[in-house]
Amino acid sequence: MPSTIVIVEDEHLERQALKRILTNELGEPCELLEASTGQEAIDIIDNHSFDLMLLDISIPRPNGLEVLRHLREKNSEVKVVITTAHDDFNMAREAITLKADEYLLKPIRVEELVKTVRSCLETEGDTGQRNRELVQSIFQFCAQGMLQDAVVILREHLNWIYAQHDDNTRRRLFETAEAIEQCAMEKGLASEDLQKEVERLKKINTGAQSSSNVFESFFCMLDHIFNVSYKHLGIVPDTMQNVLGYIERNISRGVTLEETAEHCHISSSYLSRLFKKSAGVNFVSYVTKRRMDLAKELLEKSDFSVTAIALELSYNDVQYFYKTFKKAFGVSPTEYRTQYTTLS
């Protein structure tokens, strides 16, 4: 996928010259967006994802520093090359404070511009390409109601980030989160919950020891996106159907939250939250009720002893089975069978 570069320049001829150089001299395909005022640049920041911004610091309404400040509030890591006709030390210092990556004086030589842009895009490198592919796949899966598949590719991407074992883990994670949020905004699928989750991610420890918290935060982002997709686009969610189907197929052996989550390729903490939200009860309560319903059915329709039914449902402690059944139905298994037989 080609890189996206935003040209922010109020002089029409200079803007066209920059476009021509990047189109003809960069040596790789790129998508170009342009803005002639600070407000147009802010609109692009709010509504598009991109890899690099060439920003004239003297742009009017508002000026380049205000545009850069707004960009950093939205995306702390996107590459920015400041261009200016004035060698203003104070302005340059403030731009550096706002994490501008390069500072070019006009008139800009073609070779210098191409070298600078190439360097910035190469630094963005694998993570940017992976983020674009990831986001495209995630939203395609969500549009088809395939949350489980979206979770799988997101998990693979996060595993790749942690496998790099370098000092850029935090930056890569935030770039990924911001790419997901930006695409959600462009597609009208952003929500207050999604924005809060992105902000929560920025505050938690992203070290390897806290990776489970990071994974859960990303999975919650998917959940928020999917819920909005479901509401707006009429998508039929399949994750809970898979979960419930797995429970039913394995109910007699005491299925656990952890194994169900592993089967569905999601984290146990995420499944716990999703299950409570969708079913209205927690996972253990639901499974216990289903096992008790099955026990009741076996008491009604089979000649198995209470001990045999308990073992059939993987209750190795028969007394615990008695206690659980009585808590569910108000009578012991033996009393229930007697009452059922009498009424029949």
Query: Is residue 219 helix, strand or coil?
Result: helix
- 97-124 as b/e: b if 16+ CB within 10 A: ebebbbbbeeebeeeebbebbeebbeeb
Instruction: Extract the runs of DSSP E, i.e. beta strands, from the chain.
Output: 3-8, 30-35, 52-56, 79-84, 102-105
Q: Which CATH number fits domain 3-108: 3.40.50.12160, 3.40.109.40, 3.40.50.2300, 3.30.420.280?
A: 3.40.50.2300
Distance, in Å, from the CA atom of 81 to the CA atom of 102, rounded to the nearest integer, reads: 5
| Packing angle, helices 38-47 and 169-186, rounded to 10 | 100
Q: Which CATH number fits domain 238-344: 1.10.10.60, 1.10.1240.10, 1.10.760.10, 3.90.45.10?
A: 1.10.10.60
Q: Which long-range contacts (CB under 8 A, 24 or more apart) does 239-246 make?
A: 239/147, 239/148, 239/151, 239/264, 239/266, 239/274, 240/274, 240/275, 240/278, 240/279, 242/148, 243/271, 243/274, 243/275
pLDDT tens series, the chain, 344 aa = 578 999 999 999 999 999 999 999 888 788 999 999 999 999 999 888 888 999 998 898 899 999 999 998 877 678 899 998 765 556 666 776 777 888 888 889 999 999 889 888 876 555 666 777 788 888 877 766 677 778 878 888 888 787 777 666 777 788 888 888 888 888 787 788 888 888 888 787 777 667 778 888 888 888 778 777 766 655 445 677 778 888 888 888 889 999 998 887 777 887 888 888 888 899 999 999 999 998 998 898 888 899 999 998 999 999 999 999 999 999 999 999 999 888 86
Rounded to 5 degrees, what angle do the CA atoms 41, 42, 48 make?
85
Residue 37 dihedral angles phi and psi, to the nearest 5°: -135, 165
Query: Is residue 41 helix, strand or coil?
Result: helix
